[in-house]
Amino acid sequence: MRIALVSPPAELLTARERGFAGDLRSLAAGLAGREHEVVIYTRREDSARPERERLSSGVVIRQIDAGPVGPVPESQVSPLLGSFGQALAAAWREDLPDVIHAYSWGGGLAAAAARRQLRETALIGGGPSEAPVPLVQTFGAFGAEQRRGAGPVSPGLANRIQLEVALARSSDAIVARSDDEIEELTRMGAPRDRVRMIPAGVDTARFEPSGPVDPRPSVARVLVVGEISPLSGIETMIAALRGLPEVELVVLAGPGDIDEVERLRKGAAHLGVVDRTDFRDATEYDDAVPEARPRLLRSADAAVCVPWRGPGSAAAVLEAMACGVPVVVTAVGPATDVVVDGVTGLHVAPRRPDQLADAVRSLLGDPVRHLGFGVAGADRVRSRYEWTRVAADTERVYAGLLPVPVLVDEEVPDEVDVTTD
């Protein structure tokens, strides 16, 4: 099977979607390992990068020229998506894939535009009128979430919401990562029989319980995992520190999180816990330094992910579980699916610092339970969330869309790949 994965321009990604580049490469490597030809298409942003780059996994990265080479202001990216779509169509006329899988609304819009141009080319040439290549869409985050969590809706956000609705209703299949995503897609009018639930994956060779560990503090360390935003509930964990006097809190924040970090720091100072709240530069723990984040995770006594609104992402929670770290999460979004309450971690209500403090205290004060949750979480990740398993599930979605069914290796039980009927 010839598979085209379309990455959106980086400038359009929200904090929640920034892991798409790593996810795409991991999924692509898993699919290539199943003997498929896989190409990741992305807009050229670095003139020093080659137009074609073959990775050790066999995956090819294609840099597509669309607009200026290099980063551009976010306000100027949306108009470039049409150019990106035209360039994709030109590339696919020479090397037509069997299936297209687009990520985020930006990647989906460019892929849909390219597919429309391919169909028009076929019509002009006297070919069939149907779309020549099936389109699979993964969103990861939704404009409607931002609308519910923010104030007035900007014209740009309103336009994005309309485009996402159109993509949800027109794609041949949609890969959702949680039950909350499926509910969001249903509200958008996506045909239920086209939605498949396939969770995020984890590189279990990189994230595992054994391995180097960062220096530990003299007190217990709790690590916040996940994105930084007003919806992330980090202020709830900061407030919970008042009931956890022997705990250090570590929060990773990127360059774009300055305003949110300042707000959180002021809140920590007001509550008298700023001296136990450690804000660190997330770029020191990104994929460019592969061992840095696992080292930090292994040094934590617990990880928390406590957003008060979903869908969100469970990728960071899975990484912590894969490292054998017990987790405490709010019963919101995909973390609810990932963390089995009382088995691999604990669920708490959102915006309840008292409950959160009690949950963390119960974990830290019970070594047997602490160890049991860590072992059970790592086992759950290895058995269900490895990228090889995710790639097999995704392959089954692709195969079901092809005109002539393709037989795939049935390594995964049928009940794993479910529709929402």
pLDDT at 157: 84
Strand 60-64, strand 52-54: pairing: antiparallel
Q: What is the mean pLDDT of residues 27-34?
A: 97
Return the bridge partners of 114, or none: none
pLDDT at 214: 98
pLDDT at 413: 43
- Which tokens belong to 240? 């919970």
Strand 99-103, strand 135-138: pairing: parallel
Q: What is the mean pLDDT of residues 397-417?
A: 64
Closest CA to 71 of 96, 38, 51, 46: 46
Distance (Å, whole) CA 27 – CA 183:
24
Provide Rg for the chain, Cα atoms: 22
Whether the pLDDT of residue 49 is over 90: the answer is no
Phi, psi (rounded to 5 degrees) for 38: -125, 130
Q: Does this chain's domain 2-201+388-416 share its CATH topology with 220-384? A: yes
Query: Looking at residue 216, what DSSP letter applies?
Result: P
Distances (CA, A) of 375 to 91, 382, 420: 47, 11, 31
Residue-wise pLDDT for 296-313, tens only, equals 999 999 999 999 876 667
Whether the pLDDT of residue 10 is over 50: the answer is yes
Residue-wise pLDDT for 236-269, tens only, equals 999 999 999 999 999 999 888 999 999 999 999 9
User: What is the rounded average pLDDT for all residues in the chain?
Assistant: 89
Distance (Å, whole) CA 100 – CA 42:
13
Q: What is the mean pLDDT of residues 334-360?
A: 95
Asked if residues 82 and 62 have their Cβ atoms less than 8 Å apart, the reply is no
**Least confident segment among 137-151, 195-209, 323-337, 341-355:** 137-151
pLDDT at 153: 67
Residue 150 banded pLDDT, cuts 50, 70, 90: low
The CATH H-level superfamily of 2-201+388-416 is Glycogen Phosphorylase B; (3.40.50.2000)
Asked if residues 12 and 71 have their Cβ atoms less than 8 Å apart, the reply is no
For the chain, the structural domain boundaries read 2-201+388-416, 220-384
pLDDT at 313: 79
Distance (Å, whole) CA 318 – CA 378:
9
Residue-wise pLDDT for 172-207, tens only, equals 999 998 888 899 999 999 999 999 999 889 999 999
Q: What percent of the chain has pLDDT over 70?
A: 90
The CATH H-level superfamily of 220-384 is Glycogen Phosphorylase B; (3.40.50.2000)
Distance (Å, whole) CA 16 – CA 333:
12
Asked if residues 13 and 104 have their Cβ atoms less than 8 Å apart, the reply is yes
At 48, which amino acid appears? Answer: A
Distance (Å, whole) CA 265 – CA 268:
5
| pTM of full prediction above 0.85 | yes
Return the bridge partners of 280, or none: 252
Whether the pLDDT of residue 421 is over 50: the answer is no
Sign of the alpha-carbon dihedral angle for 130, 185, 164, 114? negative
pLDDT at 93: 93
Whether the pLDDT of residue 417 is over 50: the answer is no
Using N-to-C axis directions, what is the helix angle for 367-384 and 315-322, rounded to 10°? Answer: 120
